[in-house]
Structure 1
Amino acid sequence: MVLLESILIPVATLGYCSGFAAAYVVSGHSTDARQFTISKGEPLPYVHDSTTWYEASTRPVKNLEDWIDLEEGLAFKYLLDNIAPGGTNTKGCRDGTVIASPSKAFPNYFYQWIRDAAITVQGIVNEYRKSEDLALRDIVDRYADMQAEIQETFNPSGSFATGGLGEPKFMVDGTPFTGSWARPQRDGPALRALTLMNFIRVVNQTNPELVTLQWINKLYNPDLAANSIVKSDLEYVSHHWDAIGFDLWEEILDLHFFTALVQHKALVQGRDLALSLDDHGAASWYDGQQVALKRFIKAEFWDGRNGHLKAYQHTPYRSGLDCGIMLGSIHGGHSDLYPPWSDEVLASTQMFINQMQNLHPINKRKPPYYPEDERLRGVGIGRYVEDIYDGVRTSEGNPWFLCTSSVSDIFYTAISHFIDEGEFHITRTNRPFFDRLHPAGRAKLGRVSSGDSDFRNYLQAMFTYADSFLNVIRYHTKADGRLSEQFDKYDGFQRGAHDLTWSYGSFLMAVDKRQTARRGLFGSKY
């Protein structure tokens, strides 16, 4: 079954009503596939001339490059070790289970979180897109089967019809976790829907002969009963986005930036999928809800007084800066709604880095290996300034590997976007970020186009800056390439759950974005 490239699913081929125009645009945004595209422009030439003010480390550092190549393979292996079937750490797990960590005590992370699993499998889908390895496709299919069962499992958050899709985690055999927990959490259904909608697109592009009516119906069936996996999640998101829940750190009961962004992106992509399957009633409903949600996000999460985004609608005892802002932009930002290259995200990321720089004593040590300028030196990034979770109990928060990777991810993605656009703008909002890149700390307001020498200077400085956060991860990675949840704020040794799946996944995602940015900046030569 061959699907048309211009739409998600060929409605005529599947037996549904045809007539969907490829140019169809509803209020909101079209489906965002930027994270899986390669820069279309020619690589920026590597040139030093009299106008070049950025001369240090303008090429990828060789030994960092070698480490990334090695760690990428190890991280992917360790990530697969946490997925059943076949994972070495998944004894007793049902097929399709993604464990958060093999750690069973101090702390016990031997569960499957809806959020963590969806983000992890999104990375598997991305790897399948590149390799077309059918073993990876099988992992995603088994994950989908497992999630279909979990959706129907009665749990402390309710039944399938009464809010059970907001349950955050399950046992590794698919049974409900019945202990006390921070529930509900409303990001999981959106992330699961995004992962499986991307899976539909990727299979359509790589192996269209594998797309069958039965396979599509399992994932999205236009039937009004809404019993298929993706449609069930979209219905949950569209009816609950304005209801409070716990954040991705499972601590604050509120409305959250991360949750809202992934919900919005899911509704936009869900609208497009519903239209391609001639499910016009659902498409109209999802579109109306994404418009309302976008309006809410714009109104509630920008702190104009302090010049940064805030992670929660109400933050009476927190600054509002939080790694969830970067993660929200990475997984949910798109088009003009807080993507990584937006003024607000770049400004917020730099302000967050400034907070973290002085918060953790380990950040005062300059890691070896990497000769970056002090102003472009990365630091370990934690969850938020007020954090007191040390990986086992409450005392003092530490830097997290996944948060440190997320900074690199933001910057690499922004670089690729600016290259694609051939320009960027330095504004009053994002100027503190560009000041950090400028050798004199005085970025000039205005448009910077690809024909300007400063265009290359800024982007190469940004690349070095992004690399320096991966270098921090390198410094704290074990000799065998393993990553835990955190590293100690004083001595730098790993803490918390060992072999955290999300630590590996976030690193791999950042490296994937780096490859695209590197190709655009330096071409295939380096």
Structure 2
Amino acid sequence: MAGLDAWIDGEEAVARRNMLAAISATHLVHRRPAFGQVVRPAKGSVLASPVSAYYDPDPDYFFHWQRDTAVILGALVALIDDGIFGKDGHETIADIVRFTLSLDALDGRAMAADPSFGEAAAPEVRQYLRSREELSEVHGDRVRMEPRFNPDGTLDILGWGRPQIDGVAARALVLRDYGNRHGFSQDLRRLVDADIDFTLRHASMESVDIWEERLCADYYTRSVQAALLGSAARDAGDPARAEVFGEAANRLGTLLDAHWSPERACYRAAAGTGIPGDRDIDFAVVFAALHSGRTTGPHSIADPRIQASFATLADIFAEDYAINRGRPAPAMGRFRGDVYQSGGAYFFSTLAAAELFYRLSALAAEGGLTATSENARFFAQTGIEAVMGHRQVSDALIARGDGFLDTVKAFTPADGALSEQFDQDDGRQTSAKHLTWSYAAFLTAASARREATRSIGPACKG
């Protein structure tokens, strides 16, 4: 697929440029006139989208989201590890760490006590402001439960899905691995240790889910928390702390196991009883496996049940989206019945599908995949047969990953711009323009592809 290789090279350059444009975008100014806000990003902030929008119809994503920042940090680390970023990459991560630490000092009590709070907002939008009571609770650990902040380092005053605690664990997983391999500065150590301790204190609480729609016992949150606490237990110098971390990780692991639904062949996105509805068949479980960084064991990318969950999702989107008619690798969304914006396919979901297959290919080259009755549908979708050797399986997985990248290519304009969604009926780009997560997802998929082709040799390249 030489044509795909050339496109990947060009798109990767676009994705790097556009992702970096959202970090430390101190030259930008975003105005929310209805709320009386003028926001100038601070150094180290990460914009979910650098485009000013006002739900007109594109959503306003001019915020520093904790979860999105974790994803962008993962892409930065991948580029450093691949030798594409050097000193500048390390400095960018240091800037993000410093900005993140500065948020710890935020205290909503002063804002709540200000008699003028909300007066700058137009009467017709005051219903969207947070209450003084809610703001007065935002201090200490509650700051880390904020899903997003203004990129100037102030609290978000708008009503949103809170509390959210997954972004802290996802961020710490990336930064802890980065520090272990590249060294810990004082700031980096302080942030990672604080994130681990926060995760330990709140490992059992419910959180608003990854899509910020409902408060629940969330699979994604539990998965990244369990991965973080498990890795902290393995490396803790203090045996007593190692035991505490390990016990918490094991409790979360038991809770995660209970999300499995054999009837629907998937992990449920939210814990409950009985057969889940379509809303609980959710691509968030695939992100959980990727963002947790696990490559072996339950809830890792090698888990047959994660693979079964992916196969179930692929069948759903192949059936539901008109743009997938006759398409071997379907454009992927979030969940059946999604109504946000166009309710369509997501670039970051489809790119995560590609990344999953590339990472599995690297494992397969070492015999790290197991065929079971649970992942039989996944193997069939991929074209893997029992008679294949490790090399053939790896080749098939790379080809499947390339199929998902080819789907992304089909809906990417000539300038390489990636929005949040592309419409399920006609493929036009929708929702937030220049979504930073979309670019980061492309970069981690491309990095995983390089790793996969290195693992099994140049004959598998396009």
TM-score > 0.5 by shorter chain = yes
| Matched-pair contact (CA < 8 Å) for 1:89–1:102 | no
CA distance 1:290–1:453, shift in 2 (3 Å): closer
Q: Is 2:41 aligned against 1:93?
A: yes
For the pair 1:168 / 2:128, whether they are aligned, the reply is no
Q: Aligned residue for 2:373? A: 428
Q: Which residue of 1 aligns with 2:126?
A: none
Distance 1:525 1:184, change over 3 A: closer
CA contact (8 A) 2:261 2:276 kept: no
Using the TM superposition, give the Cα deviation of residue 307 of structure 1 relative to its aligned residue in structure 2, in angstroms.
2.0
Report the counterpart of residue 104 of structure 1 in structure 2. Answer: 52
8 A Cα contact 1:341 1:413, kept in partner:
no
Contact 1:303 1:309 in 2 (8 A): yes
CA distance in 1, matches of 2:206, 2:215: 6
Q: Does 1:471 align with 2:406?
A: yes
Report the 3-state secondary structure (helix = DSSP H, G, I; strand = E; otherwise coil) of the residue aligned with 1:189.
helix
Q: Structure 1 residues 337 and 426, CA, compared in 2 at 3 Å: closer, same or farther?
A: closer
Is 1:293 the counterpart of 2:293? The answer is no
Task: Tell me whether 1:232 sits opposite 2:194 in the alignment.
Answer: yes
Q: Hey, what does 1:352 align to over in structure 2?
A: 313
Cα distance, 1:365 vs structure 2: 5.4
Aligned partners of 2:423 and 2:430 also within 8 Å: yes
Distance (whole Å) between structure 1 residues aligned to residue 72 and residue 139 of structure 2: 24
- Which residue is 1:114 aligned to? 66
The alignment partner of 2:345 has SS state of coil
Q: Highest relative contact order (Cα 8 Å, sep 6+), 1 or 2?
A: 1
Q: Distance in 2 between matches of 1:273 and 1:177?
A: 36
Match of 1:78 in 2: 18
1:400 aligns with 2:346: yes
CA contact (8 A) 1:125 1:198 kept: no
Distance 1:85 1:103, change over 3 A: closer
Q: Return closer, same or farther for 1:354/1:316 CA change in 2, 3 Å cut-off.
A: closer
User: Equivalent residue for 1:381?
Assistant: 332
Partners of 1:152 and 1:159 within 8 A in 2: no
**Structure showing the higher helix proportion among its residues:** 2
- Contact kept? 2:323, 2:426, Cα under 8 Å: yes
**What CA deviation, in whole Å up to 9, does each residue of 1:368-397 have, x standing for no partner?**
xxxxxxxxx11111110021112xxxxx51
Deviation, 1:466, is 1.3
Q: Which moved more, 1:189-198 or 1:320-329?
A: 189-198
SS state at 2:455 partner? helix
> How far does residue 273 in structure 1 lie from its aligned partner after superposition?
4.5
- Conservation of the 8 A alpha-carbon contact between 1:343 and 1:427: yes
Question: How do residues 446-485 of structure 1 correspond to structure 2 at under 5 angstroms?
Answer: 453-485=388-420
- One-letter amino acid of the counterpart of residue 383, structure 1: R
Q: Hey, what does 1:268 align to over in structure 2? A: 230
Aligned-residue offset at 1:154 = 2.1
Deviation per CA, 1:97-153: give whole Å up to 9, x if none.
000002322210000001101210121122223326111111111111111111231
CA distance 1:400–1:453, shift in 2 (3 Å):
closer
Structure 1 position 65 matched with structure 2 position 5? yes
List alignment gaps of at least 5 residues for structure 1: 1-60, 205-210, 221-227, 367-376, 391-395, 445-451
Q: Which residue number in structure 1 is paired with residue 169 of structure 2? A: 190
Letter in 2 for 1:385: R
The percent of aligned pairs where both chains have the same amino acid is 26
Counterparts of 1:7-18 in structure 2 under 5 Å?
Answer: none
1:330 deviation in Å? 0.2
Residue 431 (structure 2) aligns with: 496
Quote the Cα distance in structure 2 between the aligned partners of 1:319 and 1:273: 37
Asked if structure 1 preserves the Cα contact closer than 8 Å seen for 2:106 and 2:154, the reply is yes
Decide whether aligned partners of structure 1 residues 428 and 192 sit closer, same or farther in structure 2, where only a CA change above 3 A counts. Answer: same
Q: Which AA in structure 2 matches 1:80?
A: L
Indicate if the aligned counterparts of 1:247 and 1:256 stay in contact, CA closer than 8 A.
yes
2:120 corresponds to? none
Q: 1:85 Cα shift? A: 5.2
Residues 290, 319 of structure 1: alpha-carbon distance in 2 compared, 3 angstrom cutoff? same
- Determine the structure 2 residue equivalent to 1:256: 218
The answer for the alignment partner of 2:99 in structure 1 is: 146
Q: How does 1:209-248 map to 2 (within 5 A)?
A: 215-216=185-186, 218-220=187-189, 228-248=190-210
Q: Distance in 2 between matches of 1:186 and 1:423?
A: 32
RMSD value over aligned CA atoms? Answer: 2.2
Aligned residues of 1:76 and 1:504 also touching (Cα < 8 A): yes
Q: TM-score, normalised by structure 1?
A: 0.75
